[in-house]
Amino acid sequence: MKYFYSAALYAFLLLFVSGCQSDVDRAAESITEQSLLSHIEVLSSDEFEGRAPATRGEELTIEYLVNELESIGVQAGMPDGSYIQEFPLLGQVVDRESARFTIRRGGQVAERLESHADFMAWPSNEEERVQIRNAEVVYVGYGIQAPEFEWDDYKDVDVEGKILVYKNSDPSHDPEIFDGDSRLYYGRWSYKFEKAEEMGALGAIIIHTTPTAGYGWSVVENSWGRERFTLKSGDDANGDRPEFNSWLTEESSEKLFSHAGLDLHEMLNAAADRDFSPVTLSGVTLDLDLTSEYSDMSSRNVIGMIEGTDPELKDEYVIFSAHHDHLGKDGDVIYNGAWDNASGTSSVLEIAKAMKQIENDLRRSVLFMFVGAEEMGLLGSRYWSQNPTVHPGKVSANFNLDSMQIFGETRDMVLVGYGRNTIGDILEKHAEAEGRYVVPDQQPEQGFFYRSDHFSYARVGIPALYPNPGNDFINKPDNWVEVTDSVRTANYHAPGDEINEYWDMAGMEADTRLIFRTAVDVINRNEMMEWYPGDEFEATRLQMLEEAQ
């Protein structure tokens, strides 16, 4: 009799699991090429004007997202019962015509650089006018202080009140430090600017080269040459900030160093030495004139929620994120942002629709976050991380979807964050079940883990992943990778980011379904996701888990 009951119970469990699985499969199959494309067509239309923060395009985008969530039946995700988390922005426009960057040698004018063509610069202290005369210049290599790697580029040199010049990226010559070829946050431009503020610098200059940045000068010009946004400080600390931040082209950097009798590329190579010390550009000073106009405004995150059903787990969460903004308009030219990131926004909407179909089988709660101002420095997701609507220690995982696979189905999926936390293991298992495979980021030197919204969640300890398009295409020409790479490069942050003849939505359908199945597994597991021991975010995670008790 005991055996009969055990067998019956086992059969019942098999039937239950099978039934749940078929429900998951049916929900996944509701995510189709056409349903995904339909959102992209709307969001990337000229009517939405490129979806820049605090514009008519953003208004239309917010309205569309809220209406879609309501029609799906996803409830509002804010504690006040709304879908909207508003956050304050400070808009800044630098007058291009009056911007001046002058290199002096021995007090005499040696070079006058041209804004946009040679440099990009902006006040970083929220002042309307920045005027700098005969400021000393110090090259600080990578400008990194990393005690865990016994690395200090400053060597106790007093750089307060100086203009600091930085090499972009971080050391990659030794696999034992800075994860070798992988770029850590130390290699990001934002780290350099933050460090300049910490060191009391007068200003910061980042030397642009395509290899160290991961993109050409046109991306710097397009991203920083229009109205730029920051989270409004709301304090009186602006006087402690550097007066300006800037980028300098490789050619202009060569001129700057040559006037000090230095070779730029020798100096760039010297930065890789642990014993590197700051180098004063002797005899060289800089003049800078910048005039800016400011506008107070706000942008918005849109947050929806499906509440979990497990009494013990429903106060824990899995977050899906996608940024809804793009670059807006430049005169009559619209930066439609179809791939970046109408595609990720569409995928999160379709995952929300599929999740709603199986909501009774979801143990944890799910948050769907469409965040704003990502293109201006991950501002919407950063604001949420600073003002979370749920405690980060109660969040099991973040799946961040930014720029999906639009060129056809692949056998592989690239995973930015592969091997860093336990979410990747689960994704890999589901990929194998579908006859697919997962590969690590193929360009770790580009630091993609720090360049999209998942980084904001990771900074507060939440295990996060950033799935990326694969390259092992199915039923495509042999040169399809080269073709699609050239298309992506030409259209990235450019007016050409529109639906075009190269698009094949089969890949986006397959990837979104795989992410959906993985997420259901993560949502329903007994355990929360974890960073692997030694990861740079592990300590923060442990702190957040303790706080959330």
pLDDT recorded at residue 448: 85
Which burial class, exposed, middle or buried, applies to 210 when counting CB atoms under 10 A from its CB (0-12, 13-18, 19+)?
Answer: exposed
| pLDDT in 10s for each residue of the chain, 549 residues | 433 344 444 444 444 445 556 899 999 999 999 999 999 999 999 999 999 999 999 999 999 999 999 999 999 999 999 999 999 999 899 999 999 999 999 999 999 999 999 999 999 989 999 999 999 999 999 999 998 889 999 999 999 999 999 999 999 888 888 888 888 889 989 999 999 999 999 999 999 999 998 889 998 998 888 788 889 875 544 557 899 999 999 999 999 999 999 999 999 999 999 999 999 999 999 999 999 999 999 999 999 999 999 999 999 999 999 999 999 999 999 999 999 999 999 999 999 999 999 999 999 999 999 999 999 889 999 999 999 999 999 999 999 999 999 999 999 999 998 999 999 999 999 999 999 999 999 888 778 898 899 999 999 999 999 999 999 999 999 999 999 999 999 999 999 999 999 999 999 999 999 999 999 999 999 999 999 998 889 999 999 999 999
Are the beta carbons of 122 and 228 closer than 8 angstroms? Answer: yes
Render 258-311 in DSSP notation, one character per residue: HTTT--HHHHHHHTTSTT---EEEEEEEEEEEEEEEEEEEEEEEEEEEE----T
Contact 87, 299 (CB under 8 A): yes
Instruction: Identify whether the C-beta of residue 123 lies closer than 8 Å to the C-beta of residue 244.
Output: yes
Which amino acid appears at position 42 of this protein? V
Q: Which two tokens stand for residue 189?
A: 């431009």
What pTM does this model have? Answer: 0.83
Find residue 248's DSSP bridge partners.
119, 207
Smallest CA-to-CA distance from 210 within 182, 251, 180, 151 is with 251
Is residue 378 within 8 A of residue 453, CB to CB? The reply is: yes
What one-character DSSP code corresponds to residue 202?
S
CATH code of 94-293, in short, is: 3.50.30.30
Instruction: Look at the alpha carbons of 250, 252, 253, 259 in this order and tell me if their dihedral is positive or negative.
Output: positive
Residue type, 198: E
CATH superfamily placement of domain 32-73+307-547:
Zn peptidases (3.40.630.10)
What are the structure tokens assigned to 421, written together? Answer: 């936390």
Longest dimension (CA), the chain: 100
Q: How far is CA 209 from CA 337, 441, 533, in A?
A: 25, 21, 34
Please report, for the chain, the start and end positions of each structural domain, with discontinuous segments joined by +: 32-73+307-547, 94-293
Helix, strand, coil share (%) of the chain residues, nearest 5:
40, 25, 35
pLDDT on residue 208 = 98
- Would you tell me how many other CB atoms lie within 10 Å of the CB of residue 219? 17
Q: Give the pLDDT score at 59.
A: 98
Three-state secondary structure call for residue 541: helix
What was the pLDDT predicted at 20?
A: 57
Q: Which of 197, 216, 196 is nearest to 208 (CA)?
A: 216
* Spatial distance between the Cα atoms of 300 and 369, rounded to a whole number of angstroms: 11
Q: How far is it, in rounded angstroms, from Cα 510 to Cα 36?
A: 11
Q: Is the dihedral of CA 343, 348, 351, 356 positive or negative?
A: negative
| Beta carbons within 8 Å of 362's beta carbon, 6+ residues apart | 306, 308, 309, 355, 520, 523, 524
Q: What angle do CA 529, 535, 539 make, to 5 degrees?
A: 80
| HEC-encoded secondary structure of 21-48 | HHHHHHHHHCCCHHHHHHHHHHHCCHHH
Structural contact between residues 416 and 522, judged by C-beta atoms closer than 8 angstroms:
no
How high is the pLDDT of residue 239? 52
CA–CA separation, 307 and 360 (whole Å): 9
Identify the three-state secondary structure at position 217: helix
* Token duo for residue 291: 């005039």
The β-bridge relationship of strands 84-94 and 279-306 is antiparallel
Here the tokens at position 169 are: 């990226």
* Pair of tokens at residue 544: 């957040």
